[in-house]
């Protein structure tokens, strides 16, 4: 018998809302066609942003959005994307498909998108292509309130008020596409560049994000921290030189070269993907152990600012656009990963799903004027209740391993938080074929009342299409029953379940 015991008297930390963040890059149809269609489009829009997409995204209560990349950020010149649109430079997007980039979406449009979504802004700069001066001037352009060359230019371009930059990424994947650097070289560049990410608004200092490791590159974490970690109290910022260190990890079922189909996979492909999603826990533990040595007080957060599935792109689409379908398997990857992030909320303070629309594990797909919510969208919608909650101690016993001879995974994973007297419990059944029953109770013996319950489930590769957009969706969940001292919950195979609970008085 599987038993889940929730201890409401054992708070384990705050789940930063930013763990539910998103990522939007100038890549394929994420920005152009997905989020932004321009003011003159026949697709309904507000200041160029698609109204249907923005309205669906608002339901997710998105806390933060990262832009303009990714790899694109390292080659991006912010000056190309300001001023009258007709005179903006047309460039080639060398990284993603070699397509024309007309820069009609730039800094002003990004902040307009954040305004419409009601989210914080995370801007990513370049340390391989741009100079420290270009980075410093961009920060001045966005945030300086007063008379200055960059603030004046911003006013000339129609926005006298400064914007608030909540987070600034100093480089992207500098171990790879972002300059192929060694960790000590990047660490020294980071020290230099971050100096010019000035917090002009002292009440809202910019959170500086240092480029962290690729997957399991523990040497990168170690060497970068050795070069540029400084404790707070120094003049360099709230937390010395940095507020967060990033981590990138994608789930490629068949490995980086082959990746594997998003929709056509077998039982092995299901469990392999689950196993690779669960690996996030190992990565966080190991990188955290290194961070703990430099930063025992936990001043610097881990920002998993790129995560998700990365499959072979949909047949017939531009390989440089990374457009993939999204199935029940993606829903489970999201559920598994978000539960891991919640459980590590002491160190993980931000995460950005890659990417928001039409790219990789997107929450929304568009085709012309049509759009659909993916299975991942519905999981993000259920999990939004954890944002800003207090992680509660929860103990799950009696869980068997399930899977194939090669890929064994726990049948059930969970996380629990509490906010305003309501307990949010999210459960995943990773078994592709068997339902799982879990007895849920409170450590103090109080009973539980179910306020709301919903589920995302389906056959392993079920998905939504433009003709059938609601095949996999969030539906009311009736698989719970009051039991002696708690609840009995029966999770169908391949399911993600949300229960909102209150202690019975």
Query: Active-site positions?
Result: 173, 306
Cα distances (Å, whole numbers) of residue 173 to 212, 213, 287, 368: 8, 8, 16, 32
Measured from the CB atom, is 295 or 306 closer to ligand AHR? Answer: 306
CB contact at 8 A, 25 and 356: no
Nearer to ligand AHR, 25 or 166 (CB): 25
Minimum distance from residue 172 beta carbon to ligand AHR (Å): 5
The least CB distance from residue 273 to ligand AHR, in Å, is: 18
The contact pattern for ligand AHR, residues 10-29, with x = CB under 6 A and - = no contact, is: ---------------x----
Residue of 18, 109, 166, 173 interacting with ligand AHR (CB under 6 A): 173
Question: Which pair of structure tokens corresponds to residue 233?
Answer: 């109290």
Smallest separation, CB 360 to ligand AHR (Å): 6
Kindly write out the interface string for residues 290-319 of this chain, putting x where it contacts ligand AHR by CB under 6 A and - elsewhere: ----------------x-------------
Size of the site for ligand AHR (CB under 6 A): 10
Report the residue number, 70 or 213, with the smaller CB distance to ligand AHR.
70
Rg (CA), the chain: 22
User: For ligand AHR, which residue of 4, 57, 71, 423 counts as binding (CB under 6 A)?
Assistant: 71
Residue 250: partners with Cβ closer than 8 Å, 6 or more residues away: 306, 307, 308, 309, 310, 354, 360
Closest distance to ligand AHR from the beta carbon of 501 (Å): 36
Q: How far apart are CA 329 and CA 115, in angstroms?
A: 32
Q: Is 496 helix (H, G, I), strand (E, B) or coil?
A: strand
Distance between CA atoms of 482 and 380, rounded to whole angstroms? 27
Q: Does 106 bind ligand AHR (CB under 6 A)?
A: no
Query: Considering only 66-74, 80-88, 181-189, 444-452, which stretch makes contact with ligand AHR by CB under 6 A?
Result: 66-74
Residue from the set 63, 69, 187, 301 that interacts with ligand AHR by CB under 6 A: 69
Reported as type and span, the H/E element at residue 56 is helix 51-58
Stretch that binds ligand AHR, among 68-76, 260-268, 292-300, 408-416 (CB under 6 A): 68-76
Rounded to 5°, angle at Cα 487 from 485 and 493: 150
**Which CB sits closer to ligand AHR, 20 or 307?**
307
DSSP-based helix, strand, coil % in the chain, nearest 5 = 25, 30, 45
**In the range 327-366, which residues lie near ligand AHR by CB under 6 A?**
354-355, 360
What is the distance between the alpha carbons of residues 158 and 146, in angstroms, rounded to a whole number?
15
Least CB distance to ligand AHR at residue 90 (A): 21
Q: Minimum distance between the CB of residue 72 and ligand AHR, rounded to whole angstroms?
A: 6
Q: Which of 430, 478, 481 is nearest to 455 (CA)?
A: 478
Q: Which one, 172 or 339, has the nearer CB to ligand AHR?
A: 172
Dist. CA 396–CA 401, nearest whole Å: 13
At its nearest, how many Å lie between ligand AHR and the CB of residue 252?
A: 11
Closer residue to ligand AHR in complex, CB, 28/403: 28
Token pair recorded at residue 201: 């608004």
Give the nearer residue to ligand AHR in terms of CB position, either 144 or 220. Answer: 220
Q: Which residues contact 50 (CB under 8 A, 6 or more apart)?
A: 34, 35, 36, 37, 43, 44, 366, 371
Distance of CA 250 to the CA centre of its chain: 11
Which residues bind to ligand AHR, rule: CB under 6 A? 25, 69-71, 172-173, 306, 354-355, 360
């Amino acid at each position: 018998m599987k038993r889940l015991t929730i201890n409401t008297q054992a708070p384990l930390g705050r789940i930063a809302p930013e763990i539910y963040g998103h990522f939007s890059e100038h890549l394929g149809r994420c920005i152009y066609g997905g989020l932004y269609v321009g003011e003159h489009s026949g697709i309904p829009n507000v200041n160029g942003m698609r109204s249907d997409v923005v309205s669906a995204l608002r339901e997710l209560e998105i806390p933060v959005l990262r832009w303009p990349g990714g790899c694109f950020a390292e080659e991006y010149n912010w000056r190309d994307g300001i001023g009258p649109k007709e005179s903006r430079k047309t460039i080639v997007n060398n990284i993603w498909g070699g397509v024309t980039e007309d820069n009609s979406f730039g800094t002003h449009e990004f902040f307009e998108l954040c305004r419409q979504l009601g989210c914080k802004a995370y801007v990513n700069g370049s340390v391989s292509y741009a100079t420290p001066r270009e980075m410093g001037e961009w920060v001045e352009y966005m945030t300086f309130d007063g008379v200055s060359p960059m603030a004046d230019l911003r006013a000339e371009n129609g926005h006298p008020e400064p914007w608030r930059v909540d987070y600034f990424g100093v480089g992207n994947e500098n171990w790879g596409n972002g300059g192929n650097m060694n960790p000590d070289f990047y660490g020294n560049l980071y020290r230099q560049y971050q100096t010019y990410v000035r917090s002009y608004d002292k009440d809202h200092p910019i959170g500086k994000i240092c480029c962290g490791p690729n997957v399991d590159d523990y040497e990168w974490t170690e060497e970068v921290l050795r070069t540029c970690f400084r404790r707070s109290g120094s003049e360099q910022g709230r937390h010395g030189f940095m507020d967060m260190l990033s981590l990138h990890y994608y789930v490629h079922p068949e490995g980086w070269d082959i990746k594997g189909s998003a929709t056509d996979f077998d039982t092995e492909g299901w469990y392999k993907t689950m196993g690779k999603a669960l690996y996030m826990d190992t990565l966080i533990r190991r990188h955290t152990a290194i961070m703990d040595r430099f930063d025992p007080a936990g001043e610097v957060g881990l920002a998993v600012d790129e995560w998700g599935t990365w499959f072979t792109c949909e047949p017939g689409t531009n390989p440089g656009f990374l457009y993939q379908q999204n199935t029940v398997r993606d829903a489970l990857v999201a559920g598994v990963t978000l539960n891991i992030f919640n459980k590590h909320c002491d160190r993980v303070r931000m995460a950005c799903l890659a990417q928001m629309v039409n790219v990789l594990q997107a929450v929304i797909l568009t085709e012309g004027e049509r759009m659909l919510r993916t299975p991942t969208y519905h999981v993000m919608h259920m999990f939004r209740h954890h944002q800003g909650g207090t992680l509660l101690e929860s103990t799950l016993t009696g869980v068997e391993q399930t899977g194939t001879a090669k890929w064994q995974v726990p049948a059930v994973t969970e996380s629990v938080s509490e906010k305003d007297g309501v307990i949010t419990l999210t459960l995943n059944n990773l078994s592709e074929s068997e339902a799982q029953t879990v007895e849920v109770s409170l450590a103090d013996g109080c009973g539980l009342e179910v306020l709301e319950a919903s589920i995302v489930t389906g056959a392993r590769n079920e998905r939504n299409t433009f003709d059938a957009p609601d095949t996999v969706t969030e539906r009311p969940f009736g698989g719970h029953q009051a039991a002696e001292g708690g609840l009995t919950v029966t999770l169908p195979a391949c399911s993600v379940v949300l229960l909102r609970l209150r202690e019975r008085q």
